[in-house]
Amino acid sequence: MALRVAVVGSGPAGSSAAETLAKAGIETYLFERKLDNAKPCGGAIPLCMIAEFDLPAQIIDRRVRKMKMISPSNIEVNIGSTLKDDEYIGMCRREVLDGFLRNRASQLGATLINGTVHGVDIPHNTSGSYVLHYADHSDGSVEGVSKSLSVDLIIGADGANSRVAKAMDAGDYNYAIAFQERIRLPADKMAYYEELAEMYVGDDVSPDFYAWVFPKYDHVAVGTGTMQVNKLKIKQLQAGIRARASHRLAGGKIIKVEAHPIPEHPRPRRVVGRIALVGDAAGYVTKSSGEGIYFAAKSGRMCAETIVESSHSGTRIPTETDLKGYLNRWDRQYGMTYRVLDVLQRIFYRSDATREAFVEMCADRDVQKLTFDSYLYKTVVPANPLVQLKITAKTIGSLLRGNALAP
């Protein structure tokens, strides 16, 4: 028998999964409802993703080498002096990155279906087929033509509002809402953001996260995120970041407004039967930084690798236990990263006093190096014990000075 796999969603998670499956010669169907989708996103990716996913240079619109952290009282700390000449954060347009990854998966042999998956019939036994019901848009219409497809295994890579997660009863997660305005700036103002990104913290811009000005292709993205999912609150916070950055955004024109959920933690069940979730559908965005592109791509690839191995390159149908092997690998590799960033968010985004302490701490070169290294290379390289001790002492010192530990 030949294994048939459906991958629903062709963001970084889905296309990376489909690429790995197709390379192994597995019959792969990659569903995407909108082939020109521009996912609302800051588009920042770590350096290691470029090599690991073999991304061509033209995917990167800007190379950010400087970050500015701005405290509630507007103290600015510049970060980036520890970077080597060839190190940077890549800024990309999601329609370009997603289009590239999707086309590569398709060229390698995945069958790309321009369709919206509406429902999944779950088989009643361990070997029956799953049936996907979808609207096929290949005629160019939004409504599409109703079709169905039988497969042995499904990867749900359909993002934060995942239909596949609902169909498999994966359970819910808490989520934050990220709101973002794309603003085209006059040339002199844009020059300031040439290779600079800004992060603002404070109750006025977000009670539990940060707000940002990120440089994009020919404009900036100005946004904020919060777990307090309430339209009025989000509007107030966006007004807060616009006010704080007003002198740098003067004369700018809004060209797009967008909002999207960001998962706060993994879903209760990420594998049920022969369905596995990856990327945002699974809930793999980190706390503190709100990063999800790299983790989406890595989880898609890791899940697909597990399928290739356990199916002996597509000659046997993997079981639920086989698929759970992907979860074990994932949690082993990244569980600690998620836990550390969760703790950091709880400590430092708690009040304006803790945020002041956080920004003060970011001025330290050892802290900058450790932070950048773990972001750019996604390896938790333990600093030498003396540096670690120094960082811990500085963290506590900063928090105490800001009276931030007071209940």
**Which residues contribute to the site for ligand FAD (CB under 6 A)?**
8-14, 31-34, 37, 39-44, 116-117, 157-159, 163, 178, 180, 223, 260, 262, 279-281, 285, 290-294, 296
CB of 316 to ligand FAD, least distance (A): 27
CB of 356 to ligand FAD, least distance (A): 25
Q: Is 32 or 360 the residue whose CB approaches ligand FAD more closely?
A: 32
| Distance set, CA 207 to CA 144, 382, 392 (Å) | 42, 31, 25
CB 74 within 8 A of CB 246: no
> Strand 62-64's sheet: what is its strand order?
44-45, 89-91, 62-64
Q: Is 151 or 285 the residue whose CB approaches ligand FAD more closely?
A: 285
Q: Tally the C-alpha atoms within 13 A of residue 155's C-alpha that lie toward its C-beta.
A: 41
Q: Is 162 or 354 the residue whose CB approaches ligand FAD more closely?
A: 162
364's tokens: 């330290």
CB 202 within 8 A of CB 353: no
Q: Is 31 or 334 the residue whose CB approaches ligand FAD more closely?
A: 31
Q: Is 226 or 368 the residue whose CB approaches ligand FAD more closely?
A: 226
Q: 365-377 and 385-401 helices cross at what angle (nearest 10)?
A: 110
CB of 218 to ligand FAD, least distance (A): 17
CB of 188 to ligand FAD, least distance (A): 25
CB of 190 to ligand FAD, least distance (A): 18
Q: Is 144 or 318 the residue whose CB approaches ligand FAD more closely?
A: 144
Of all residues in the shown chain, the one whose CB is closest to ligand FAD is: 292
CB of 220 to ligand FAD, least distance (A): 13
Q: Is 91 or 399 the residue whose CB approaches ligand FAD more closely?
A: 91
Which residue is it, tokens 């009863």? 169
CB of 112 to ligand FAD, least distance (A): 11
Q: Is 287 or 402 the residue whose CB approaches ligand FAD more closely?
A: 287
CB of 247 to ligand FAD, least distance (A): 23
Q: Is 37 or 236 the residue whose CB approaches ligand FAD more closely?
A: 37
Q: Is 210 or 358 the residue whose CB approaches ligand FAD more closely?
A: 210
Residue 169 backbone dihedrals phi, psi, to 5 degrees: 60, 55
Which residue is it, tokens 């330290």? 364
CB of 292 to ligand FAD, least distance (A): 2
Residue among 261, 266, 260 nearest 282 (CA): 266
CB of 289 to ligand FAD, least distance (A): 8
Q: Is 62 left (phi over 0), alpha (psi -120 to 50) or beta?
A: beta
